[in-house]
Amino acid sequence: MKIGIVCYPTFGGSGVVATELGKALADRGHQVHFVTYNQPARLDFFSENLFYHEVSVSKYPLFEYPPYELALASRLVDVVRFENLDILHVHYAIPHASAAFMAKQILLTYGIYIPVVTTLHGTDITLVGKDRTYKPVVTFSINKSDGVTAVSEHLRKDTYEFFEIENEIRVIPNFVDLTRFSLKPKDHFKKAIAPAGEKILIHTSNFRKVKRTQDVIRIFAKVIKKIPAKLLMVGDGEQRSDCEQLCRDLEVDDNVRFLGKQDAIEEILSVSDLFLMPSESESFGLAALEAMACKVPVITSNAGGLPELNVEGVTGFLKDIGDVDGMAEKAIYILEDEARLETFKDNALARAKEFDLSIILPRYESYYMEVLEKSKMHLI
Ligand code: GMT
């Protein structure tokens, strides 16, 4: 198949899923064309089946808001026509699904029907999408997609609840490539971070409000009272400086390291003992899955799709949003007993294997086939 992928080219979960999916599809022999405004973060190598088409937006002085959506739609028309694409897969509804709809209408004037699959990732529905600024467009473009997927059962339900959706939404969960995300021997690194054998807790995110990063610091401040420990904060974003200040206020700053954005996240996860994700909202929790693949158990909130990933008392624990005491108590419970910690680590990996790329990728491929088959009637 010749597949066009539209995504945000950043470190965010939806961009990571889109890029990893495209790479894996290319490995399976499909031709994959990424269409976005920057080279996607994890697309930094050459493959004969991978193509990148940049969307550039004219900076004409009249435009207070440069019209990215129009530039994207125009680029899609071009790429579909001249690369003979079979299908477009857009990740994150805003503004990708509506740009794809516009491209689809324009392509019809050339006698081309391009089926569009939209994957909903989370905040495009739960936060931004249901805001009335965007709601009518999001509803329309979901209903006009030839196929719609959501990354968890919870997100599927939310979408039906918040929008008037006539389309069937298929759940295809996030995945992890276990050949990349696995426990790596990084003992020297572990020694450098925790020279006295302290336990290592970790959080990775884009430090947006929805991640409740300050809860991470508060949980850690409670854990360290009982267990010698270090905390690694990976990523960057609006909440970072508040978190740094909170570390000073709680006098844990000597034991917390802010590492900023990191590429080789699997190496940092490999030295970690426990992952913290106290999010306010989380459609799936890809970062937690990546941690589990590296044998790291997880303490999460019970928001959104997290209960579909984290198994209570098996791979970690789930607590209500904001229940810092409960999360700290469970973190201590896992970390205080070496044998118990090992069991949780094994369980985390076993669960992550259920979301291996090799299992989830064929679900996307067969969904594309199904959508293509259905859209054949538009060609008659
Ligand atoms: O979580 C983020 O901040 C990034 C965001 C995105 O859209 O890039 O992630 C969302 O999509 C991921 C991949 O499908 C999911 O694993 C995350 O749970 C989801 N984030 C939220 O729902 C907050």
**Atom of ligand 1 minimally distant from the CA of 17:** 13
Give the integer Cα–Cα distance in Å for 100 and 115: 9
Nearest CA to ligand 1 atom 12: 13
pLDDT digits (tens, 9 = 90+) for 204-213: 999 999 999 9
pLDDT at 73: 98
Query: Regarding predicted confidence, which is higher, 47 or 273?
Result: 273
- Residue 106 CA to ligand 1 center (angstroms) comes to 31
Tell me: do 147 and 281 sit in the same domain.
no
Tell me: do 162 and 193 sit in the same domain.
no
pLDDT digits (tens, 9 = 90+) for 131-147: 788 999 999 999 999 99
- Residue 151 CA to ligand 1 center (angstroms) comes to 9
Nearest CA to ligand 1 atom 7: 14
Residue 63: pLDDT band by 50, 70, 90 thresholds? Answer: confident
Residue 129: pLDDT band by 50, 70, 90 thresholds? Answer: low
| Domain membership flag for residue 339 | yes
| Domain membership flag for residue 18 | yes
Tell me: do 129 and 149 sit in the same domain.
yes
- Residue 274 CA to ligand 1 center (angstroms) comes to 20
Tell me: do 336 and 366 sit in the same domain.
no
Residue 126: pLDDT band by 50, 70, 90 thresholds? Answer: confident
Instruction: DSSP letter for 349, please.
Output: H
Q: Does 377 have pLDDT greater than 80?
A: no
Nearest CA to ligand 1 atom 9: 13
Tell me: do 315 and 254 sit in the same domain.
yes
Tell me: do 223 and 339 sit in the same domain.
yes
In single-letter form, the type of residue at position 8 comes to Y
Average pLDDT estimate for 358-372? 98
pLDDT at 59: 83
- Residue 52 CA to ligand 1 center (angstroms) comes to 23
Tell me: do 155 and 213 sit in the same domain.
no
In single-letter form, the type of residue at position 362 comes to P
Q: Best mutation site among 128, 284, 298, 302 for ligand 1, i.e. most ligand atoms within 8 A of its Cβ?
A: 284
- Residue 173 CA to ligand 1 center (angstroms) comes to 12
Residue 42: pLDDT band by 50, 70, 90 thresholds? Answer: confident
Sheet strands (E) in the chain: 2-6, 31-36, 50-54, 87-91, 116-120, 147-150, 169-171, 199-204, 229-234, 256-260, 274-277, 298-301, 316-319
- Residue 174 CA to ligand 1 center (angstroms) comes to 10
**Atom of ligand 1 minimally distant from the CA of 174:** 14
| Domain membership flag for residue 180 | no
Give the integer Cα–Cα distance in Å for 328 and 84: 54
pLDDT at 43: 84
**Atom of ligand 1 minimally distant from the CA of 124:** 7
Look up the domain containing 9 and give its range: 2-175+357-379
Give the integer Cα–Cα distance in Å for 76 and 104: 9
Tell me: do 63 and 130 sit in the same domain.
yes
- Residue 275 CA to ligand 1 center (angstroms) comes to 17
Residue 84: pLDDT band by 50, 70, 90 thresholds? Answer: very high
Tell me: do 131 and 86 sit in the same domain.
yes
pLDDT at 46: 82
- Residue 123 CA to ligand 1 center (angstroms) comes to 7
Q: Does 41 have pLDDT greater than 70?
A: yes
Average pLDDT estimate for 354-371? 98
Give all strands of the β-sheet with 199-204 in edge-to-edge order: 256-260, 229-234, 199-204, 274-277, 298-301, 316-319
Give the integer Cα–Cα distance in Å for 272 and 295: 9
- Residue 14 CA to ligand 1 center (angstroms) comes to 6
Nearest CA to ligand 1 atom 14: 121
Q: Which CATH number goes with the domain that contains 301?
A: 3.40.50.2000
* DSSP 3-state of 205: coil
Query: Regarding predicted confidence, which is higher, 44 or 232?
Result: 232
| Domain membership flag for residue 182 | no
**Atom of ligand 1 minimally distant from the CA of 152:** 14
| Other CB atoms within 10 Å distance of the CB of residue 242 | 14
Burial class (CB in 10 A: 0-12, 13-18, 19+), 61: exposed
Number of domains making up the chain? 2
Tell me: do 170 and 81 sit in the same domain.
yes
**Atom of ligand 1 minimally distant from the CA of 206:** 3
Q: Give me the long-range contacts of 258-265 (CB less than 8 A, separation at least 24).
A: 258/233, 259/232, 259/233, 259/234, 260/234, 260/235, 260/236, 261/11, 261/234, 261/235, 261/236, 262/234, 262/235, 265/204, 265/234, 265/290
**pTM listed for this prediction:** 0.94
pLDDT digits (tens, 9 = 90+) for 246-282: 999 999 999 999 999 998 999 999 999 999 999 999 9
- Residue 81 CA to ligand 1 center (angstroms) comes to 31
Q: What is the mean pLDDT of the chain?
A: 95
Residue 48: pLDDT band by 50, 70, 90 thresholds? Answer: very high
CB 233 within 8 A of CB 259: yes
Nearest CA to ligand 1 atom 5: 13
pLDDT digits (tens, 9 = 90+) for 152-187: 999 999 999 999 999 999 999 999 999 999 988 888
Closest among 277, 270, 314 to 295, alpha carbons compared: 270
Tell me: do 21 and 144 sit in the same domain.
yes
Site residues for ligand 1, CB cut-off 6 Å: 12-15, 17, 92, 121-123, 151, 174, 206, 208, 210, 281-286
Tell me: do 374 and 301 sit in the same domain.
no
| Domain membership flag for residue 236 | yes
pLDDT digits (tens, 9 = 90+) for 101-112: 999 999 999 999
